[in-house]
Structure 1
Amino acid sequence: MNNLVKLTISQAVSGLKNKEFTATDLVTAHINQMDKYRYINSYITEIPELALQAAKKSDFLIQNNQARPIEGIPVSIKDLFCTKGILTTAASKMLQNFTPVYDATAYSKIINAGGIMLGKGNMDEFAMGSANINSYFGNVINPWKAESDDVDLTPGGSSGGSSAAVAAFMAMAALGSDTGGSVRQPASYTGTVGIKPSYGRCSRWGMIAFSCSLDQPGVITRTVEDAAIMLEIMMGYDEKDSTSLNAEVPNLRSAVNQPIKGMKIGIPYDLMENRSLSSEIITMWQNTINLLKDHGVEIVSIGLPYINYALPVYYVLSSAEASSNLARYDGVRYGLRVEGKDSNINEIYELSRSEGFGAEVKRRIMMGTYALASTNINSYYIKAQQVRRLIVNDFTNSFNKVDCILIPSAPTAAFPLNSNQDDPVTMYLNDILTIPASLAGLPCISIPAGFSANKLPLGMQVIGSRLDEYNIIKISSAIEKALNLKFIPKGF
C-alpha cells in the first residue's frame, strides 16, 4: 500500500477508475506517510478522520460511475486559504484561533472536483518569506539532504509546507499561493513542479491577503501533467473576486507531450552575468537551452533591461500593500486580542499587534508604512509603480518575438535552514528570478531540471505571455520528458 503514495495524479485516477485500489486505501497510505514524516512539519492542522470520511464518499461515487475529475486524490491546502469549520491561521499567532465560516474559491474548486484535503500546509507567516522559517508553528524541513552532510535544508517559501508535503509523498498535490515566487521557488528547492497562472486566472476570494496586486493561487505537484490537471480545475471566473478574469479556460492537459519544434524561446543572456547565480545554475540553464535546440526550438536572445530593478520594486509595492491589508488585525476588528493594565484602545492595538505578528511581518509592515508616508510616497511607492510598468513593457516587447522565456527558478540549490536568518536582504535575493514574472502578472512554471554537485534538485522556469498557460505546459512537459530524471529524496 505504501507504493500508492508514489503514484502520479493521472495514474491514481486511472487506478481508482479501474478498481485497482480504493480512495480509502489511497488516503490511508498518505495518512501513514504523514505519521512517519511528521518531523518535516509540513502540516499545521491534520484532519485524518475527515479525510477518511471523504474517501468513503469518493469510493461510493467511483463504484457508481459518478467519479469527478480528481475523485479520491489526497491534497494539502496551504493554511492561507479559508476552509469552513477548519482552523486557518496563515501561520501566525495573530490568527491562531481563527476558524472561517466559508471556503476559499480555489479550495472549493478542488474539493468539488473530488480532491480530499489531508490538512492545512505550513508556510511563512502571512506568506512573507522565502525559507519557511517565519511560521509561528515552527520551521519546515526539506525532505532532501545534501550528499556531503546531514544539515537540515530549507524547503523554500512561503509555500514550504506545500512543497515538502508533495516531495515527501504526504500529498499528491498542494494548493499554494504565489506572490513573488512562493510556489515556484519552493518547487525548485524540493524537486517538484510549481505553477503560477496569469494574474486573475484563479480566484483570490477566501485567500488571506498579503499583496492584492500580486497574490495568486498556484499548485505544486510532482509532474507537469499533474500540474496541468490541477490548475485547469482551479481556473475560471469568480464574481466574488473583483480581479477575476472572465476568460475561457484552456484544455491544459492537452498541451502535455505536444511537439515543440519551431517554437521560439527567449533567453535574457545578460542575466547569466548576475553574480547571485551559482555556476551550477548557469550550467543547468545552458544544458536546458541545448536540449531545446536539439528538439528543434529556436533560441532567441532577448533584452529585459529593467529586470534588475524587480527586487526593490517588489519589496516596496508588496510591503506597501501588506501594511494596508494587515491593518485590520488589531485585536478589536480581527485577530489576537491582548489587553494591558489600562485596556484603552491604543494599548490594545499596540499589544495585540506586537504579540500577534512575527518579526518579518512587522518588518514588512514598517517598510510599507514608510513607503506610503506622505513625505516618501512619490520617491518610493509611485516610483516603484512606474518602474513596474517598464518591467511589464520589457516582457511585452519580448513576447512580440518569442513564445516563452526560459530562466532558472532560483539562484542556488536549497540552503541550510539556519543560514541568513538575521540577514533579510540576503534572504530577499532568493526571489530575484521569480519576482519579475509576478510583477508582470504572467503565467510561469518551475520544473526540476538538474542536480547540484551535492545531489540537490535545481529548477528551471518557463514564463509565458499573459493568459498563455498552454505554452508553458507544452514547453515544460517537453523538457521533463527529454530529461527523464527522477527527483526522489534519499530514503523516500
Structure 2
Amino acid sequence: MKRHLQLSIKQLSGFYADGSISPRTVVDHSLDDAIKLKRLNAFIRLSPEKALHQAKESDHRYENKEQLGVLDGVPIAIKDNFCTKELTTTCASRMLSNFVPPFNATVCERLANAGAVLIGKTNMDQFAMGSGTVDSIFGPSKNIWSNDLVDKWHIAGGSSGGSATAVAAGICYAAIGSDTGGSTRNPAAYCGVVGLKPTYGLISRHGLIPLVNSMDVPGIFARNVGDCLDVLNAIAGPDDRDSTTIRKPFRKIDMSFNEELDLRNVRIGIPKEYHCEGLSNEVLETWMKVADLLEDSGAHVHQVSLPNTSASIFVYSILNQCEVASNMARYDGIEYGHRAEIESSTEELYANTRAEGFNTVVKTRILTGNYFLLRKNYHKYFEKALRVRRLISEDFKRVFETPKNDENIVDVLLTPTTLTDAPLYNDFVSQSNRDQCAVQDFCTQPANMAGIPAISIPIRLSKRGLPIGLQLMSKSLNEEMLLRVAGWIEQQVEFDCLANEQIYAARS
C-alpha cells in the first residue's frame, strides 16, 4: 500500500507544500491503481490526458508558490451523469453512449477551480435508476470488500456505486455522486466510506443530467468526514445557472475535527419507525451501540416519531416515476444521443430510438410515470403523493424546529443507512429493480423528499467482513452540526476502509 493513500486531503496538501511528494506522482499512482483494479469496474472511462495536464499545472503552482486551491493536486472521480466538457458523459446508457458535452457541470467547474485532478468518470446504474450499480451497459461495479471478486462478489450499492468503489479502493481521495433517494449514502454504507447528501439546493445541479429534479442532489464520497468537508466547501454555493440553488451565499464551514465536541449540548433522536421489517440484527445492534455511546458521552438521546415514514417509499416511487417520465421525454433521437436507423416517420424514429437507447428499468419507469400522470389518474396518484410528501417533510420539521422549547426537539437523527450489509450480486439481481429499491432505499429516501442533509458513516464490519454504516440527518442547512457529530463518531469507532485486505489482494 502506497504511503500517501493513508493521508487525509489536508495531510496530502501539506506533503505537496513541503515537496515530500508531487501531485504528478500521486496522480500517476491513482491512474495506475485504477488500471490494476479494473476488475472492480469502478470507472466507465479514465481521463489520463486531462489528469496529467491538471497534475502538471498543480505541480507548477506548488513549485512557484502560487495561490493554491483547497483541493490542489488531489485526485477525484466524478459520476458519469455529470457533464464534463469534451469528455464523454453516458449515464451508463446506450442512449448517451456517444454524448460529449460542450460544457462542464458547475460541480466539475468548481472542483477544477479548487485545483482538483479529474482521473475519470465512474460507473452507475443506467440514468441513476437503481440501488446496486448493476444496470450499467458497461457491466456492474463490484464491492472491494468481497472475498471473491470472480464468482461470489457483493454489490457496491447504487446508483453511485462506481464512485464509492473508487474511494473505498484507495484509487482517489474523494468522488462525486448524485443522490435522489439514497444513491450516495447507500453505496457509502456498503463500501465503508463516508457519503454526504447536502441540503437540497446547497450545491448546483447545473450539468447534472436529471433523474428527479425535485430531489436530485450532488453527493460527496470520501474516506473521512474532514475530506468530505473540504470537498463541500469547494463546490457549495449559489449558481445563476441553477434556479433551484439557495440564493444566500454559502459560508464555508471552518472547524477543526480535533476540537472536542461537547455532546452535553447535542440532542439525538432515534426514530422508532426506522426499526422496520427486514432490519438485520447486526445493523440494529450497531445502531443501538452507537446510540449508547453518544448517551454515555453526555448527549441527550431519546426516541422520536416520524409517523409518515411508512408511506414514504410509495410516495417516492410515484413521484420518482412521474418526474422520470417527464425528464426522459427529451431523448428523441433528434437533438443529441442515440438515433435509430429506421425512421420512416417521426413517430417511428421516436419509438425505435427510445426502444434501443433505454434498458427495461428506464422504460418501465417511463411507462409507469405516464400512467400516473394520465388525466384520470393525476389526482389519485400524483397529487395525493405530493400531499403525503408534505406530511413527511413536516414530520422532520416537527422534530427539528418546532416548538423551540419542546423537550422532544432534536439536533440530529441517528438511523441505519441500509437494512443489511452488502448483498451478494446473485441474490440482488434475483429480485426486480423496483423491489430492490423499495428495500434498499427505505432509510434514505425520506431525507430527499424533505430536502434535508444526511450523511452515512462507516461504523464496523459485519460477521461476513462487510462494512455496516449508520445515517445522521439534520435540519436544512445544518451541515456543520451534522458533520461535527459525524466526525465525533468517526473518531470513536476508528473505522479504516484502507485496512481492507481485499485492496491488497486485488492489486496483486
Could you report, residue by residue, the CA deviation over 1:379-414 in whole angstroms, capped at 9, with x for unpaired residues? 111111000000000000000311111101111100
Give the distance between the partners of 2:273 and 2:90, measured in 1 at CA: 41
Aligned partner of 1:427 in structure 2 is: 436
SS in 2 for 1:252: coil
> Structure 1 residue aligned with 2:446, among 429, 432, 436?
436
- The aligned runs of 1:43-58 (5 Å cut-off) are 43-58=43-58
Could you report, residue by residue, the CA deviation over 1:212-235 in whole angstroms, capped at 9, with x for unpaired residues? 000010110000000011011110
Give the distance between the partners of 2:112 and 2:262, measured in 1 at CA: 34
Q: Is residue 2:279 matched to residue 1:271?
A: no
Q: Which moved more, 1:292-301 or 1:385-394?
A: 292-301
Structure 1 residues 218, 253: closer, same or farther in 2, change over 3 A? farther
- Equivalent pair of 1:4/1:29 in contact (CA under 8 Å): no
SS in 2 for 1:287: helix
Give the distance between the partners of 1:165 and 1:430, measured in 2 at CA: 21
Give the distance between the partners of 2:125 and 2:206, measured in 1 at CA: 20
Give the distance between the partners of 1:350 and 1:277, measured in 2 at CA: 42
Look up the equivalent residue of 1:116 and give its one-letter code.
V
Q: Is residue 2:137 matched to residue 1:136?
A: yes
Aligned partner of 1:284 in structure 2 is: 286
Aligned partner of 2:414 in structure 1 is: 406
- The aligned runs of 1:257-268 (5 Å cut-off) are 257=258, 258-262=260-264, 263-268=266-271
- Equivalent pair of 2:274/2:416 in contact (CA under 8 Å): no
Give the distance between the partners of 1:20 and 1:230, measured in 2 at CA: 23
- Equivalent pair of 2:147/2:502 in contact (CA under 8 Å): no
Shift of 1:322: 0.9
SS in 1 for 2:428: coil
Aligned partner of 2:486 in structure 1 is: 476
> Structure 2 residue aligned with 1:416, among 405, 424, 428?
424
Structure 1 residues 255, 182: closer, same or farther in 2, change over 3 A? farther
Structure 1 residues 356, 294: closer, same or farther in 2, change over 3 A? same
Q: Which moved more, 1:342-351 or 1:188-197?
A: 342-351
Give the distance between the partners of 1:81 and 1:338, measured in 2 at CA: 25
Give the distance between the partners of 1:198 and 1:373, measured in 2 at CA: 32
Shift of 1:204: 0.3
SS in 1 for 2:45: strand
Q: Is residue 2:7 matched to residue 1:7?
A: yes
- The aligned runs of 1:22-61 (5 Å cut-off) are 22-61=22-61
Shift of 1:148: 13
Percent identity, aligned pairs only, is 38
SS in 2 for 1:145: coil
Aligned partner of 2:230 in structure 1 is: 229
Give the distance between the partners of 1:170 and 1:106, measured in 2 at CA: 20
Could you report, residue by residue, the CA deviation over 1:102-135 in whole angstroms, capped at 9, with x for unpaired residues? 0000111111100000011111111110000111
- Equivalent pair of 1:69/1:114 in contact (CA under 8 Å): yes
Shift of 1:243: 0.2
Aligned partner of 1:62 in structure 2 is: 62
Q: Is residue 2:345 matched to residue 1:344?
A: yes
Aligned partner of 1:447 in structure 2 is: 457
- Equivalent pair of 2:186/2:417 in contact (CA under 8 Å): yes
- The aligned runs of 1:18-417 (5 Å cut-off) are 18-66=18-66, 67-145=68-146, 151-254=152-255, 256-257=257-258, 258-262=260-264, 263-272=266-275, 274-340=276-342, 343-400=344-401, 401-417=409-425
TM-score (norm 1): 0.97
SS in 1 for 2:255: helix
Give the distance between the partners of 2:251 and 2:36, measured in 1 at CA: 39
Give the distance between the partners of 2:360 and 2:96, measured in 1 at CA: 15
Give the distance between the partners of 2:216 and 2:167, measured in 1 at CA: 22
Q: Which moved more, 1:436-445 or 1:5-14?
A: 5-14
Could you report, residue by residue, the CA deviation over 1:126-156 in whole angstroms, capped at 9, with x for unpaired residues? 1110000111111111111259996111100
SS in 1 for 2:490: helix
Structure 1 residues 146, 282: closer, same or farther in 2, change over 3 A? farther
Look up the equivalent residue of 2:440 and give its one-letter code.
N
- Equivalent pair of 1:250/1:470 in contact (CA under 8 Å): no
Structure 1 residues 333, 453: closer, same or farther in 2, change over 3 A? same
- Equivalent pair of 2:319/2:385 in contact (CA under 8 Å): yes
Shift of 1:471: 0.6
Give the distance between the partners of 1:146 and 1:314, measured in 2 at CA: 34
- Gaps of at least 5 residues in structure 2 are 402-408, 504-508
- Equivalent pair of 1:147/1:455 in contact (CA under 8 Å): no
SS in 1 for 2:130: coil
Give the distance between the partners of 2:216 and 2:451, measured in 1 at CA: 9
- Equivalent pair of 1:285/1:407 in contact (CA under 8 Å): yes
Shift of 1:252: 2.8
Could you report, residue by residue, the CA deviation over 1:173-198 in whole angstroms, capped at 9, with x for unpaired residues? 10111010010000000000000110
- Equivalent pair of 1:194/1:445 in contact (CA under 8 Å): yes
SS in 1 for 2:354: helix
Shift of 1:424: 2.8
- Equivalent pair of 1:84/1:99 in contact (CA under 8 Å): yes
Give the distance between the partners of 1:328 and 1:104, measured in 2 at CA: 18
Shift of 1:284: 0.4
SS in 2 for 1:360: helix
Give the distance between the partners of 2:51 and 2:428, measured in 1 at CA: 38
Shift of 1:255: 5.7
- Equivalent pair of 1:266/1:300 in contact (CA under 8 Å): yes
Aligned partner of 1:17 in structure 2 is: 17
Q: Which moved more, 1:227-236 or 1:148-157?
A: 148-157
Shift of 1:308: 0.8
Look up the equivalent residue of 2:333 and give its one-letter code.
G
Q: Size of the alignment, in residue pairs?
A: 490
- Equivalent pair of 1:5/1:30 in contact (CA under 8 Å): no
Shift of 1:366: 1.4
Give the distance between the partners of 2:325 and 2:6, measured in 1 at CA: 42
Structure 1 residues 357, 61: closer, same or farther in 2, change over 3 A? same
SS in 1 for 2:421: coil
- Equivalent pair of 2:205/2:217 in contact (CA under 8 Å): yes
Structure 1 residues 86, 425: closer, same or farther in 2, change over 3 A? closer
Look up the equivalent residue of 1:19 and give its one-letter code.
G
- Equivalent pair of 1:229/1:253 in contact (CA under 8 Å): no
Could you report, residue by residue, the CA deviation over 1:75-111 in whole angstroms, capped at 9, with x for unpaired residues? 0011111111000111110000000000000111111
Give the distance between the partners of 2:417 and 2:319, measured in 1 at CA: 21
- Equivalent pair of 1:43/1:122 in contact (CA under 8 Å): yes
SS in 1 for 2:422: coil
Give the distance between the partners of 1:15 and 1:253, measured in 2 at CA: 21
Structure 1 residues 409, 245: closer, same or farther in 2, change over 3 A? same
Give the distance between the partners of 1:365 and 1:136, measured in 2 at CA: 19
SS in 1 for 2:469: strand
Aligned partner of 2:506 in structure 1 is: none
- Equivalent pair of 1:371/1:381 in contact (CA under 8 Å): yes
Give the distance between the partners of 2:93 and 2:375, measured in 1 at CA: 30
